[in-house]
Amino acid sequence: MNQNTALTPFRVDIPQADMDDLRDRLARTRWPIPVPGRDDRADFSRGIPPVYLKELAEYWRDAFDWRAQEAKLNAYDQVTTVVDGQTFHVVHVRSANPEATPLMLNHGWPGSFVEYQRLIPLLTDEFHVVIPSPPGFGFSTPLSATGWELARTTDAYAEIMTRLGYERFGAHGSDVGAGTVGRLAAVHPERVIGTHFGSDAKWLALVGDTFPYPDGLSDDEIAQIEAVRAEDAPERGYLEMQNHRPDTIGAALTDSPVGQLAWIAEKFKTRAGGAYRTPDESVDRDQLLTNISLYWFTRSGASSAQFYYENAHSGLDVLMGAGVPSGFAVFDAHPLMRRAMDPWKAIGHWSEFTEGGHFPAMEEPELLAADIRAFFRAPGISRD
């Protein structure tokens, strides 16, 4: 690890020239020639509909107030620190409660620390909240080198918690953040007091691939899981590009703000709960665009894709830290979720919600906060 352990105070301050450049690029967008009949703003069958994308781009250009959103982000203390040559950005919000538990919130793609913006004030009565950005995401840029995958990132996160003064801590994560949470518990079990995962019905698509089919499933249950896998298959397009061709897609995401907008906004339709909604009906429009703006201003559309490439080629096994107390909050729950993921009911805390989806901290922050609090209040979760 790098011997310079300094924590440098950080504030978000995007240069005005970068904001002007964004508006200029949006105004000069070279739009595709529309396919006849593609005029339904809610029809995502071929990807994000052009009519909806134009509407969102115009709002981003003319009505979205980055400075107001920047001020909201700067209401929370932030630092940067260098670990193993890589700069990490960390949101660090201390609780006024002297008995508060340190809690690390872990995000993946297409999220950022902005994803937890509405969750933070719901937790700080009981938790010191720490949100590190993975290498290549947000202000954890630029990348210092190749090789930043889950294992190296997890070790860096543990070091960051040491620098912040937290020997023992809890961890919550979703998406790729669930991977860092599980690995933290597996590699540093003496430090992690409990792991809490936010998941959704699409996790069923991992059964038969990342996770084996459990014994005892009926033919009908296997068919239901296969149906979820088939439904999820078109979603793997972005994953295959980022896993195997990050340089190719990275060029487009760095040069075209509308390309970056489409690349991320679509996922808030196909991954969020309520399939009938547009992305900005599932989550707050300004929060969505703040998240996308962060990717644009930091050029992390390209560098976050590199993180996927590194993980896909690392040969690492999925680690879930079986010896550490764990809890799941499943949003947009499928009836077979626990049957397939935890058939032995080894996970002590398991909650299912019909609301929400892949982005619970943005879609249902109150439900997620309540479940996190309930998990870490349970007997057997101890900082001692």
Query: Mind telling me the catalytic residues?
Result: 175, 308, 358
Number of continuous H segments (helices) and E segments (strands) in the chain: 16, 9
Give the long-range contacts of residues 207-210, CB within 8 A, separation 24 or more: 207/340, 207/341, 210/318
Token digits of residue 231: 């439904």
- Phi-psi group of 256: left, alpha or beta (phi > 0 → left; psi -120 to 50 → alpha; rest → beta): beta
| Torsion on CA atoms 204, 205, 211, 214, rounded to nearest 10 | 50
Backbone phi, psi, residue 356, to 5°? 75, -165
Cα–Cα distance between 374 and 307 in angstroms, integer? 32
**Would the CA dihedral through 242, 248, 254, 257 be positive or negative?**
negative
* Block residue for tokens 């906004």: 265
List the one residue out of 146, 197, 199 whose CA is nearest residue 171. 197
**Helices 300-312 and 285-298, interaxial angle, to 10°?**
80
Extended beta strands in the chain, E state:
8-9, 78-83, 86-93, 101-106, 127-132, 169-173, 192-200, 326-331, 349-353
Cα–Cα distance between 141 and 134 in angstroms, integer? 9
Cα–Cα distance between 137 and 189 in angstroms, integer? 26
The answer to whether the CB of 115 falls within 8 A of the CB of 107 is yes
How many CA atoms does the CB half-sphere of 27 hold within 13 Å? 7
Cα dist from 14 to 28, 128, 155, 208, whole Å: 21, 27, 30, 44
List the one residue out of 136, 176, 122 whose CA is nearest residue 358. 176
The answer to whether the CB of 76 falls within 8 A of the CB of 120 is yes
